Structure 1
Amino acid sequence: MLPFPVLLALPQGPTVAVYDSGSSGPVLLLLAGNSLSSASTYGALWAEPALAGYRRVAFDWPGCGASPWAPAWYGLEAPARVLALVVATLDLPATVVVGHSLGGHLALHALPRLPLVRGLLLVGTPPLGAAADFAHAFLPEPRMGLLYQAELSDAELAQLLPALLQPAAPASQQAPLAEALRQSDPAFRPALAAAIGAGVPDEQAILRATAVPVAFALGEADALVSAAYLGATAAPTRWGALVHLVAGAGHTPMLETPAAFATLLAEFAAAVLPR
């Protein structure tokens, strides 16, 4: 379970909710996905013994979780700026960034502005280049459209949640995601859709240019992202396997199988972070 959030007013930016373990040790910065909160995504991971030697930091995107609604900071470019502002304001040292889904895309966009990042773990995040990549990066899943819809009824949430988890995920895993989706600003999702329609930064070019080690993780039963696409993505600094498949998990492995995910994260962090 995450600690109580602290509201952080960013210089020339919005106010965001920050969660900090306060412990010493190398830093893990944990980023949630579209309309999700840090608590719903990483709550089960926070106390995993494999991560006990690390300072764990997370924050909620504007309009999501415990962060105030701030429509001027939705989309793609603005949240990536928020990420850079959070890192600078907290004065984070050498850091491993974990980006889940949209959080991974935003981490890629901000990566050139984050000189102290020593590793990037992308979870359910297929790096995109041209618009045509969407058809190959994502599986043909009609429920994905709900992630860009403003209002979500209870029936629509019931359709969407299984796409974010493994099939027949227990209510204990569905409940935190449902709460986060209900809590988020309905304007967040259409603003994201509009930004994607206007053009996504060339994430593959960012990967080719970076010296930062990058690892790709995917739940074995992920209903949204193509494992084949991730494996074929050109990433000169790729760490470990082409794709680290997490057994027993769908699109949100840190919630579904926290012990296995924590072990993977600890191995990656130990390999790339100075102790």
Structure 2
Amino acid sequence: MMFDSQTIVTGHGAVRYSDTGGSGFPLLLVHGSSLSRRVFARQFDSDLPRRWRLIAIDLPGHGESEDAHDPQTTYTPAGFAECLEEVAERLDLQRLAVFGWSLGGHVAIEWLSRSTRLRGLVLSGAPPMPRGFLGMFRAFQPSLDLLLVSKQQFSERDAARFVSLCFGSARPASFQDLVLRADGRVRSVFAHALSRGDGADQRRTIEASPVPVAFVNGSDDPFVRLGYFSNIGVPELFGHEPLVIEGAGHAPFWERADLFNPILDRFLGRVASESAPDWQAQARPATARGWR
């Protein structure tokens, strides 16, 4: 596939991103731990960019972005959220929606707690949990595999297992290379930050959200307790209940893009219609739709 990327220098290092441009309402896609913006290929290579402006970023320590100069500060929910705020400022994104997957979802919730830019939030594999270790225990299924999320040094076998857990049988071999490239300090620092309760209380943030929120999870997610979502009160819950995509695991946007993309399209339609009309002033000329 073709892949077009650009660089923004932030206080947390230089980050690479891809942007379809165009006049559609903007959606920033934020990937999970140890991966990169390439996981969103099935959104970029779909009909979504015909209506919406898609922007995908490699967080610091991932993909083509730089590793953090100060990992203990950057590789936290607050540090990553600050990085996204800088990117949005540089791209003049006064209003946008965010799709956050796994780690990216937790970062998006933190960003929502400290920014007025967000007009809608889609979360997959990222249960908004109360602060601390007990909150994590309530939201995630306990298993030995979950320990990989916080393991700093990965062997090739660890990387293969991690990709398998995230993408199931639909995993491409190239994703293992992404995991091995990632700065392993992200896993240890971020997991410890969540267990300590650093940053915003994610459950309270979502339950007080002033913008629409959509939970879209896979029925076979190996990490997340799906039943946890039924007890979360969201003022504007898209679809009126947490959405579950059958036959998908931790990455429904990849495994069942045929079902996920229409949900994303409908969500963006709602957010765009509810947002002030002057968001169109943010539009920039369309660029190549594919990856380069």
Alignment of 1:27-38 (within 5 A): 27-38=26-37
For 1:138, the aligned partner's letter is F
Q: Deviations over 1:115-145 (max 9, x none)?
A: 2321100111100114322222111231111
Counterpart residue number, 1:223: 222
State the 1:69 CA deviation.
0.9
For 2:19, the aligned partner's letter is D
State the 1:160 CA deviation.
2.3
Q: Deviations over 1:139-197 (max 9, x none)?
A: 1231111121122112222322222123xx04xx2423312111111222122133223
Give the one of 170, 180, 192 matched to 1:182: 180
Counterpart residue number, 2:242: 243
Give 5+ residue unaligned stretches, structure 1: none
Counterpart residue number, 2:284: none
Number of residue pairs matched by the alignment: 269
Distance 1:134 1:240, change over 3 A: same
Give 5+ residue unaligned stretches, structure 2: 278-292
Q: Deviations over 1:45-81 (max 9, x none)?
A: 2121144211100111101011011142212221111
Residues 5 and 66 in structure 1, CA contact (< 8 A), matched pair in contact too? no
Counterpart residue number, 1:193: 191
Is 1:115 aligned with 2:113? no
Distance 1:74 1:143, change over 3 A: same
Residues 63 and 71 in structure 1, CA contact (< 8 A), matched pair in contact too? no
Residues 27 and 93 in structure 1, CA contact (< 8 A), matched pair in contact too? no
Say which is worse superposed, 68-77 or 219-228, in terms of deviation. 68-77
Residues 2 and 43 in structure 1, CA contact (< 8 A), matched pair in contact too? no
Counterpart residue number, 1:273: 272
Residues 13 and 68 in structure 2, CA contact (< 8 A), matched pair in contact too? yes
State the 1:13 CA deviation.
3.9
Counterpart residue number, 1:79: 80
TM-score, with normalisation over the residues of structure 2?
0.86
Flag as ranges the 4+ runs of structure 1 deviating above 3 A: none
Say which is worse superposed, 27-36 or 196-205, in terms of deviation. 196-205
State the 1:93 CA deviation.
3.8
Distance 1:199 1:2, change over 3 A: farther
Counterpart residue number, 2:210: 211
Counterpart residue number, 2:136: 134
Q: Provide the secondary structure at the position in 1 that maps to 2:173.
A: helix
Q: Separation in 1 of the partners of 2:201 and 2:60?
A: 24
Distance 1:235 1:206, change over 3 A: same
Q: Separation in 2 of the partners of 1:231 and 1:163?
A: 24
Q: Separation in 1 of the partners of 2:225 and 2:97?
A: 24
TM-score, with normalisation over the residues of structure 1?
0.91
Counterpart residue number, 1:161: 163
Cα-Cα RMSD: 1.8
Distance 1:266 1:158, change over 3 A: same
Is 1:263 aligned with 2:262? yes
Q: Deviations over 1:198-255 (max 9, x none)?
A: 3243011112322111110101111111111012112122111421111221101111
Counterpart residue number, 1:202: 201
Counterpart residue number, 1:125: 126
Say which is worse superposed, 70-79 or 98-107, in terms of deviation. 70-79
For 2:177, the aligned partner's letter is E
Is 1:95 aligned with 2:103? no
For 1:182, the aligned partner's letter is L
Counterpart residue number, 1:234: 233
Q: Separation in 1 of the partners of 2:184 and 2:77?
A: 16
Q: Which has the higher contact order (CA 8 A, sep 6+)?
A: 2
For 1:94, the aligned partner's letter is R
Same amino acid, percent of matched pairs: 30
For 1:153, the aligned partner's letter is S
Residues 2 and 19 in structure 1, CA contact (< 8 A), matched pair in contact too? no
